Amino acid sequence: MNAFTQAVKTAHAAIRQGQLAQALEAARTAAGANPDSTEAWWLLGTAAMGQDDMPTAESAFARAAQAAPPGSKLSGQMLALRGKPLISDGRMAEAVESARQAAATGLSDVPSLVKLSYTFTHAGLPEEALSCIRLATELAPDHAEAWYSLGSVYRALGQIDDSEAAFKRAIGLSATPPVAAYFNLAYLRRWTEAENHISLLETLTCRTSLEACRVAYTLFKEYDDLRQPEKAWDCLQVGAGLAGKIEPWSSAEEAETIAAWKAHFPPERFQTKDDRPRSGPKRIFIVGLPRSGTTLIERVLAAHSQVQAIGELKTFGIATHKLAAIENARRLAPEVIAAAARLDPLDIADYYTRESAFLNDGSAYVIDKLPANHDYVGLIRLAFPDAIIIALDRNPMDALFGCYKVLFTGAYGWSYSQDDLADHYAHFRDLMGYWKQALGDGLIEVSLEAVIRNPESEIRRLLDACGLPFEEGCLKPHEAKGGVSTASAVQVRSPINSQGVDAWKRYETQLMPLYNRLRQFGYVD
């Protein structure tokens, strides 16, 4: 047995046994011995993925695709594998291009089609995801993961009944408890005494902290639907406690971030307009707290004939961090902001435009609605001097309770304790007040409560501030076309209503620690 064959055999065995470091070493040996072997590069990518080494995985799968016969299904399978590592590295445009090339090979294996659906869904292209995942369920009607992915795509597209049916199908086909499917199913509609999943959820055995966390949030949602606030609150405390350990957050670090923005982006930087041309459509950025109405305002504007919503993009932050080129620094560390201040804003604009161009359908205006972009407001203004920046405001108790009761996997680590909620809100108000001081009328402020009370007058005011003529369709945001992948995906399919106003008061007693902190800060009466 030659060195290549032995290395391949060793890598396969090590992967089966979960010995990923050994698999990685053996796969490197195999790829070195035969650089034209798709199998060797696939083994290397698989071992690297198992160790969460996404750059190595992406590079290996790309080499595997190159080694395969051009246009073959084998090359398509390798290209499909590139999606997740490319997305993790913020290279969304490349991920989409790789997925489209893979789809063009005529893939017919379900695992690859599921991976393509994942890529298209995360890229904000649910229609392309739908064609892949429908084919997967047709090819393998008993494949639970395919039905779960189909449910997620239907949810993004607003096809709620179809989403519910797909999630239920996934649950029925799963060999192990499909916690993620139950979690997503719970948020599709309101459950009743006659129909809920509480007794089943309470008997589930969870394999990981994340599964236990999802079960707790799911139980909160269903007990809340049944108007049993004491039991719901107990479940929420369990879930939030677990989530806080998974997503740690530091108030001191956020304070350092805000101080850095103020120090490196003083108001005088915004007094001179950069007249160099920017390519692409006119940009609309919607920022604010999560659960503050950002998705509703996105839908209002997306209902306009000249406007396209392109989702919650992390692209601006990724562009800033990539170009700042500070290795091993936490997100928005002071040294990253200092480096960003030395960049040419046009370079950030060009990077952002290049990475998001695949989403634009030719509309004159496009909306990027990522609440966390509130950190970058000043830099957005420098990168896109003519951008429309809309800042949402909502009663802090409703907004913060809205955040507290949602599991934001992978984001918003401040949302899992009442003290952290209060601290973050104080930081948020501090920074937004600074951006308002620096940008003046360049920041359009919108109150969610005002929109709910007087939708037509407020929507007319907003459109006028955006330089858009009034259109009746903007009064019916629930009819706007396009996918929605946020926690508000179901809510925004209903007409504008006041159901969420003062929703926190159902848990008024339990939320007194948060209320009292906000009152001390002067944010509530």
Break the chain into its structural domains and give their ranges. 3-186, 187-246, 251-521
d(CA 375, CA 331): 11
**Residue 438 vs residues 269, 272, 368, 378, 480: alpha-carbon distances, Å:** 9, 12, 22, 8, 34
Strands, sheet with 307-309, edge to edge from the N-terminal-most edge strand: 307-309, 365-369, 282-287, 388-393, 443-447
Question: H/E element holding 285?
Answer: strand 282-287
What is the distance between the alpha carbons of residues 520 and 147, in angstroms, rounded to a whole number? 49
To the nearest 10°, the Cα dihedral for 42, 46, 52, 58?
20
**163: how many CB neighbours lie within 10 A of its CB?**
24
* Assigned token pair, 469: 């003529």
Per-residue pLDDT of the chain (525 residues; tens, 9 = 90+): 588 999 999 999 999 999 999 999 999 999 999 999 999 999 999 999 999 999 999 999 999 999 999 999 999 999 999 999 999 988 999 999 999 999 999 999 999 999 999 999 999 999 999 999 999 999 999 999 999 999 999 999 989 999 999 999 999 999 887 999 999 999 999 999 999 999 999 998 899 999 999 999 999 999 999 999 999 999 999 999 999 999 899 999 999 999 999 999 999 999 988 999 999 999 999 999 999 999 999 999 999 999 999 999 999 999 999 999 998 899 899 999 999 999 999 999 999 999 999 999 999 999 999 999 999 999 999 999 999 999 999 999 999 999 999 999 888 999 999 999 999 999 999 999 999 999 999 999 999 999 999 999 999 999 999 999 999 999 998 876 765 555 555 665 577 888 888 999 999 999 999 999 999 999 998
Q: Are 411 and 247 in contact (CB under 8 A)?
A: yes
> How many Cβ atoms from other residues are within 10 Å of residue 273's Cβ?
10
What's the longest Cα–Cα distance across the chain? 79
Assigned token pair, 338: 């200092």
CATH number at 251-521: 3.40.50.300
What sign does the CA torsion over 511, 517, 522, 525 have? positive
| Strand locations in 334-481 (E) | 365-369, 388-393, 443-447
Burial group, residue 499, by CB count within 10 angstroms (0-12, 13-18, 19+): exposed
What are 349's two structure tokens? 């604009």
How many Cα atoms occupy the beta-carbon half-sphere of 257 within 13 Å?
21
Instruction: Give just the sign of the alpha carbon dihedral 135, 138, 141, 147.
Output: positive
Place of tokens 């601290």: 423
Q: Alpha-carbon distance 486 to 94, whole Å? A: 23
Distance CA 320, CA 351 (A): 9
Q: Give the helix ranges, DSSP H, for 123-178.
A: 126-139, 144-157, 160-173
The phi, psi pair for 446, rounded to 5°, reads -130, 130
Residues in the chain: 525
| Three-class secondary structure of residue 508 per DSSP | coil
Distance CA 226, CA 121 (A): 32
Asked whether the beta carbons of 379 and 342 are under 8 A apart, the reply is: no
Residue 484 has a pLDDT of: 57
Q: How far apart are CA 220 and CA 81, in angstroms?
A: 36
- If you search the block for the tokens 């998705």, which residue do you land on? 295
- The answer to whether 255 and 361 have CB atoms below 8 angstroms apart is no
Q: Do the Cβ atoms of 20 and 56 come closer than 8 Å?
A: no
Topology match between the domains 3-186 and 251-521: no
| CB atoms near residue 386 (< 10 Å) | 13
What is the rounded distance in angstroms from the CA atom of residue 48 to the CA atom of residue 21? 8
3-186 is a CATH 1.25.40.10 domain: yes
- Cα separation, 404 vs 419, whole angstroms: 11
Secondary structure class of 193 (helix, strand, coil): coil
**pLDDT score for 482:** 63
Cβ contact 348:245 at 8 Å = no
Q: Does residue 425 contact residue 404 with C-beta atoms inside 8 Å?
A: no
Q: What is the DSSP string of 361-402?
A: -S-SEEEEE-GGGGGGHHHHHHH-TT-EEEEEE--HHHHHHH
How would you label 446-481 residue by residue, b for 16+ Cβ within 10 Å and e otherwise?
bebbebbeebeebbeebbeebebeeeeebbebeebe
Please give the pLDDT value at position 489. 54
